Chains A and B, each alone.
Chain A
Amino acid sequence: MIARADPRIRVVSALLAVAAVSQLRTLPVSAAAFALAILLVIIAGADRRLWRRMLHVEGFMLLLFVTLPFTMQGPVVATLGPLAASSTGMERAALIALKVSASVLTLSALIGDIDPARLGATLHALRVPERFNRLFVMTARYVSLIRDEARRLSESMRARGFRPGSNRHTWRSYGHLVGMVLVRALDRAERVEEAMLCRGYAGRYPYAVLPALLRRDWMLFASVVACGILILAMDRL
């Protein structure tokens, strides 16, 4: 149902949903938001990559989870040597974990699988400035191509016996790898620009026309907004 929904509706709904989740302050409502997000993922059809995404935690997030119980004042529930874990700190860590996970799940359910070819048209329809959008479309198109090029270069490094380690030789080799990728990217940019001019590029992309919004698109939008308002109201009351 979500996969067939209009990409404009999906982007705007995702933004509103995560904005609502990010403002939650109480643990039970955050848990409810997390449950709603899981429901959304189930409706959207879970993806194997999703669980890898959930496990990907930024370094500073880990630091936050580990230190919050010990640095916040409150009733002590456990001690670890000289450190005392407070219940307020643990609640705070749980709150953040729930909110961040709910946001990640919501994002991947709503916008995780938007067709890259339609992203430009989607942003265009959402009134994103034209120049920015052109830059975005250009980058989006060439990431996978350049990624393949970088993969070929690093394969040939490995074929010549390169073993990465924590030493200056590795860092210099990676520097040369990235440098080579950049030089090729610049050459490619020149060719692409010439090809675009040859075909009469005059500062505008012809974007794909997105189909009109259907009733099920508006229903998706309305239900996401309703859930957002509901959890915010429950949180503040």
Chain B
Amino acid sequence: MAHIPDGILSAPVLIGGGVIAAAGVGLGLRHLDDRLIPRAGILAAAIFVGSLISVPVGPSSVHLLLTGLMGIMLGVVTFPAVLVVLLLQTLLFGFGGLTTLGVNTVNIALPGVVFAALLGPAIRDAGNATKRAVLAGLVGALSVAGTGLLVAASLALSSSDYTPVASVLIATYVPLMIGEAFITAAIVGFLARVQPDALRPAAS
């Protein structure tokens, strides 16, 4: 849904994305204690599997990004985890892109990390299920919207010819925002009841 393939973006955007992604991944790896690697790796695999489910929303169907959830469960480790998933998709399925790995990592991981950092503490401390569901849904929807805006920005910065497309692009993300909000809320509610520790990025 948010993967920009090879062959569209300009060199400065590719390089800029690569630099920002390297900074994010470096930060994530510093927080990735040796003992957390199995947890982070297997969670990344589980979230990747979750994103393969095709979810009906209105007349269309969407594949979830689950990056808001990743941000809540993994914190800044989301950056390396997203890069791992993108690299796997490229190497194993030839899907996505190699030159766009950096840009795609930033577009997909950054909003999830930011909104989970802002709203995560309130989600963990939420006293009742409704408040928690609303906040979790908000993280899910905002992360998708952020990814949509970043994809649009990557295109618009690459060539002014893409600007008209970039400005309407966000509309195509609306079904995903709706599905992502409801499903993230359900997942977070489920985890809060079954295994509340899972909602803490550093728990091991």
Contact = CB atoms under 8 A, between A and B. Distances in A.
Interface of A: 11, 14-15, 18-19, 21-24, 50, 53, 56, 58-61, 63-64, 67-68, 71-72, 92, 96, 99-100, 102-104, 107-108, 111-112, 114, 116, 119, 129, 131-132, 134-143, 145-147, 150, 154, 164-166, 168, 170-172, 174-186, 188-190, 192-193, 196, 203
B98 A139 contact: no
B58 interface: yes
B52 interface: yes
A142 B38 CA distance: 10
Contact of B183 (A114, A129, A174, A185): A174
A138 B161 contact: no
A139 B93 contact: no
B45 interface: yes
B91 interface: yes
A146 B98 contact: no
Contacts of A59: 1, 172
B24 interface: no
Nearest to B43: A185
B76 interface: no
A182 B5 contact: no
Contacts of B183: 171, 174-175, 178
Nearest to A138: B41
A185 B95 CA distance: 25
A63 B168 contact: yes
Contacts of B11: 22-23
29 contacts: A18-B6, A18-B98, A21-B7, A24-B7, A53-B94, A61-B5, A96-B8, A99-B8, A107-B97, A131-B29, A131-B32, A137-B41, A138-B37, A139-B41, A139-B88, A143-B48, A168-B182, A171-B55, A175-B184, A175-B185, A178-B50, A178-B53, A179-B190, A182-B50, A183-B198, A186-B39, A189-B39, A189-B43, A193-B39
Nearest to A47: B94
Contact of A58 (B3, B34, B38): B3
B165 interface: yes
Interface string B8-23: 1101001000000000
Contacts of A134: 37, 41
A182 B43 contact: yes
A50 B182 CA distance: 34
Contacts of B59: 166
B172 A140 contact: no
A185 B5 contact: no
A166 B61 CA distance: 9
B195 interface: yes
Contacts of B14: 22
A179 B195 CA distance: 10
Contacts of A60: 151, 155, 165, 169, 172
B90 interface: yes
Interface stretch (B78-86, B108-116, B120-128): B78-86
Contacts of A112: 93-94
B119 interface: no
A68 B80 CA distance: 35
Nearest to A95: B7
Contact of A136 (B88, B186, B187): B88
Given A18-B6, A132-B83, A190-B39, 18 more contacts: A18-B97, A53-B94, A60-B151, A103-B5, A104-B5, A131-B37, A135-B44, A139-B44, A140-B92, A142-B45, A142-B46, A146-B42, A166-B59, A170-B55, A182-B198, A183-B191, A185-B45, A186-B198
